[in-house]
Structure 1
């Protein structure tokens, strides 16, 4: 009996030990399994949007993929051209463009592969954010389970935010998603090193410097917005992390030098850049329909709208078209209320800093992430993808506050129920949003247009899909209805003229439409698709469609009306494109004098190699070489910053000079 009793006791002890072991493992592992599950759910919900189509910024940025995969295999020369000739930002964004080589073979048929990769990157970003938030808790000496769960909840809610859907389901916004990947990776490496700061070792410094340096470098080569990464690390240092304790003076000096190099210098650089924009605001905003003051007042309202739609989402509020957002001034009540709200939020966060820094952390993180794209830089007013990382820390701060409140009042189950219900709400709205993005293109375009009837882009998008379905009359009605809501919408009137020509409308109506275009183009606040539409009208003119109504003089007069618009002519590339278009009309008419006049004007606007090559072709066909040699001397091409592209263009430039000397 004693032997049996001993064996029973031993088995119970072993069972207890094993149970404790697995219980401990589950406590520590379950939060990670939770965030992995949420990442999987996110991928599942986003897959309903993969069947969506291309959008307005996809075509100018990804068009080079046509040549990369033109022969059914990758063309090495076209690859280098595509990767290093980007002009979406001042640095060309080569890392982002290179990433499209992985999944861009479907261009221009469908974006399914690209959107699938975007979604996978988004899920990976959720895991990286979990790692960042977990380390934030670890550095505050939280229990490991608490740090892991708060990180999992913060990253999980962030993954399910419907406000991020347009950033993931618009192909070209890979630039936003991937640059955020590098920023999160950089912050994670920084925090890993930061945990060992103060110890007599170089490893901490190397991890911190490597994280911020590598994350910023790769990030800005993906999208320039990543330049704020050092400032985000500074926000964490100021509002969350405990100041490091050093033993030696050398360590304190090293920390000061680190802050100067990685915090103060980047902040000063961005500050100088923004001040330069303010100093040159008259010229910088000449191409916009709003002034610097109007932009700042409007952005005060926009930022509140972002927060409202982030935390109280509506599927129908999300989409790619927001160019109809109202412009506010200092006398607008919504702008005054919004600005007062931000001022009050700043005062409250600063006043509470001694008891809790969570409001200050959330406010500063949100402000810094919007520092470039939602401040003085003359960008468009509203884009949802600007919030991709902006909401990460505000969500985390809110969850931490709720967790501490629940601990003090022992209401953990109630808070868990509220958070669970809210998570289901977010997942439901995200499903509605992704389904909308991935629905039938024509039906989706109609829904977006109904939500934004005053959006020029929404009207053009719907009209494009209706035209593709041979519903040209309906497309014309949409363009006309949108033009009624947008005064002087010259681009819409021009497209309306082109569709009216295709439909063979009466001559009196065509003439009235042409006169409307000539009135509106010099005053148009937007410049969407003007040269493209002129090219289509030129095709109708060459094919003698439109009942012979469109003639060379009409096209020249319309192009000149566009040039009379300072918002259009103020952009050198637009000015060059219009002059090249006008030159093409005279080339067809074999009129050398006016052809050269417009080609020289195009060169004056943009002395590009392409414009020089076109000029050389024209003069060669006319048997004139001396003039071209003189033109080459007077117009040296603008060389790109990219060394590979510059070297290639310089080689072509030398070849062109050789040809001109031979012709002479």
Structure 2
């Protein structure tokens, strides 16, 4: 296990110096609520519920980010080191769990059981499929939830062993620990609600507590229902919650298509675990083809039969190969939530963080139990060592690419050139390079044009989303503004760089408006529309007259845009600022009031509302908004701004512009 720990640190070390990536910026890097300076309950509560993720907000995971910031600052290195420590703890818990379960089945804690447990932990720790749960900081939600699930499962097993030995006091303590761990797991990420299913597998396969007839069949069924109905009810509630926020309307697949595709996805996951292929691993897998029918493609039917066969084998050999059966069933159970009816994206590697343990366990148990005269214990150990070195090499190579966003983006583009999200990310890298002061003017023009081409390819690969088209429009508008400024400088006799107009496909604006109105109301489209509006409002972009207004009108006409969502509140908040900039105060008041009504906890809406109301002459309402902000704990930046605005109003001074 010490070798496994050292190998894991070596494998991940290059990636620890990498930056925050993608969702990290919203959830962590730019989240002012996490930047706590005192360890008081108010600050921790603000941090815990500062990011709306899932049904339960995941306050345990968010609190861990706040504590990370408090003790070690905002550098991404410390966040990734903590993620790696959590990963290592999970590896040790897997070691103890496998050793305990193997001892239950074989009746002793033999050296063979310990070596098997260590081998499973080693392979799982260094396996490349788990990399995103470590180096993608926001996925601490996954690894932390797994930590508490493993603690709960291990505590439950130890509690059952103590109960069998008539040590009821000790057993009760273990059960209490399991319950506490379950709560912590659930508030780290919602897929912890599958813990009762894992406990059921342990009871059925190892403890045989449900097979006893001592209390009668009715009692046994009651225990089963009490365990399994809880996660089923919670899962149904989560499904209803997702449906309220758009459900499958915001996806380019139906419920049936998702269920059919997930059969193939599960086999794809197993292939990545059993036969690691460096060219397949990626943060995005949206190029995975959709199953539109049982035989479209034909591999869907094969996968359905294959999953059924795995279940049959696990049940058929549950007594003779209990550990392997447990591993297979645990893998399948771990995907009951994220690979079934809930309208999530189709595929993500981090969903295998716990499930991959099951496949690794099944494979290594198979190697251990394979009876061949030539397959000596020494040779088996050598095979495990070679496998470990191979996995360390792949994970280390992946970690190297995670050192830099440019390297990671182009690495993913090389592996998944037909992924819309990968192309979008590559375009963002080109856009960043075009703003690099170290590049000359010609290179910047080339990078901007390459960004347009990548964005357009992403738009072609995903014909339902307007986000990439809006990005092209913004680049073009920024470029036109720069050209206009250069011409003005020339007229004034100033030295100005020669900026080349971009080669933008015709009809981008009309295509974007159509998609905003008729297609999926995605978060990317919302975010880019807001960026476009801010850019125009602040006079940094040069759009055609009425062009941005037409985009807003099209998007607001989309029947799938949730009427009472934070997304709608953000759109209304920006519309209020646009109306304010045009001195249409009546419209500005109406829009900001609607935004605040939808999301009354957003302090920025009330700050902007205070300015709009004060400019309109409604000083009382402006002060009321500011007092509402100050009545609750806020990050220092927001609190100070609200106090300054309130003092200005009390002095009779005007609030000239929204803080934005």
TM class, shorter-chain normalised? 0.7 to 0.9
1:202 alignment partner in structure 2 = 168
Q: 1:583 aligns with which of 544, 551, 576?
A: 576
Residue pair 1:54, 1:170 contacting (<8 A) in 2 also: yes
Alpha-carbon separation, structure 1, partners of 2:616 and 2:39: 35
Secondary structure of 1:379 counterpart: coil
Alpha-carbon separation, structure 2, partners of 1:196 and 1:97: 35
Alpha-carbon separation, structure 2, partners of 1:274 and 1:224: 9
1:284 alignment partner in structure 2 = 247
Residue pair 2:325, 2:362 contacting (<8 A) in 1 also: no
1:491-539 deviation digits (Å, cap 9, x = unpaired)? 0000011011222276995973322221222234362433443343334
2:522 alignment partner in structure 1 = 527
Residue pair 1:228, 1:369 contacting (<8 A) in 2 also: yes
2:304 alignment partner in structure 1 = 339
Secondary structure of 1:286 counterpart: helix
Higher mean displacement: 374-383 or 270-279: 270-279
Q: 2:275 aligns with which of 309, 312, 316?
A: 312
1:555 alignment partner in structure 2 = 548
Residue pair 1:449, 1:462 contacting (<8 A) in 2 also: yes
Residue pair 2:449, 2:502 contacting (<8 A) in 1 also: no
Alpha-carbon separation, structure 2, partners of 1:608 and 1:67: 13
Does structure 1 residue 113 correspond to structure 2 residue 107?
no
Secondary structure of 1:240 counterpart: helix
1:595 shift after superposition: 2.1
Does structure 1 residue 404 correspond to structure 2 residue 380?
no
**Pair 1:352–1:409, CA change in 2 (3 A):** farther
1:169 shift after superposition: 0.7
**Pair 1:297–1:420, CA change in 2 (3 A):** same
Does structure 1 residue 595 correspond to structure 2 residue 560?
no
2:55 alignment partner in structure 1 = 90
1:361-380 matched pairs, under 5 angstroms: 361-380=326-345
Residue pair 1:286, 1:566 contacting (<8 A) in 2 also: no
Q: 1:385 aligns with which of 350, 354, 361?
A: 350
**Pair 1:197–1:397, CA change in 2 (3 A):** farther
1:147 shift after superposition: 1.6
**Pair 1:613–1:266, CA change in 2 (3 A):** farther
1:123 shift after superposition: 1.1
Alpha-carbon separation, structure 2, partners of 1:351 and 1:244: 18
**Pair 1:466–1:208, CA change in 2 (3 A):** same
**Pair 1:134–1:508, CA change in 2 (3 A):** closer
Secondary structure of 2:20 counterpart: coil
1:406-460 deviation digits (Å, cap 9, x = unpaired)? 488863333333323222221221122212222x321221121232334343233
Residue pair 2:419, 2:458 contacting (<8 A) in 1 also: yes
Residue pair 2:273, 2:360 contacting (<8 A) in 1 also: no
Residue pair 1:122, 1:177 contacting (<8 A) in 2 also: yes
Whichever of the two has the greater Rg, that structure is 1
Q: Unaligned 5+ residue runs, structure 1?
A: 1-34, 638-642
Secondary structure of 1:197 counterpart: helix
Q: 1:620 aligns with which of 614, 620, 627?
A: 614
**Pair 1:110–1:196, CA change in 2 (3 A):** closer
Does structure 1 residue 452 correspond to structure 2 residue 445?
no
Q: 1:178 aligns with which of 144, 148, 151?
A: 144
Higher mean displacement: 518-527 or 537-546: 537-546
Alpha-carbon separation, structure 2, partners of 1:246 and 1:371: 27
How many pairs does the alignment contain?
601
**Pair 1:199–1:162, CA change in 2 (3 A):** same
Residue pair 1:40, 1:123 contacting (<8 A) in 2 also: no
1:213-224 matched pairs, under 5 angstroms: 213-224=179-190
Alpha-carbon separation, structure 2, partners of 1:275 and 1:544: 47
1:306 shift after superposition: 0.6
1:607 shift after superposition: 5.0
Residue pair 2:16, 2:81 contacting (<8 A) in 1 also: yes
1:601 shift after superposition: 4.2
2:233 alignment partner in structure 1 = 272
Residue pair 1:106, 1:113 contacting (<8 A) in 2 also: no
Does structure 1 residue 296 correspond to structure 2 residue 291?
no
**Pair 1:226–1:279, CA change in 2 (3 A):** closer
1:352 alignment partner in structure 2 = 317
TM-score, normalised with respect to structure 1: 0.80
Higher mean displacement: 137-146 or 307-316: 137-146
Does structure 1 residue 163 correspond to structure 2 residue 129?
yes
Q: 1:190 aligns with which of 156, 180, 185?
A: 156
Q: Unaligned 5+ residue runs, structure 2?
A: 435-446, 481-499, 653-660
Does structure 1 residue 424 correspond to structure 2 residue 400?
no
TM-score, normalised with respect to structure 2: 0.81
1:62 shift after superposition: 1.0
1:579 shift after superposition: 1.7
1:384 shift after superposition: 0.6
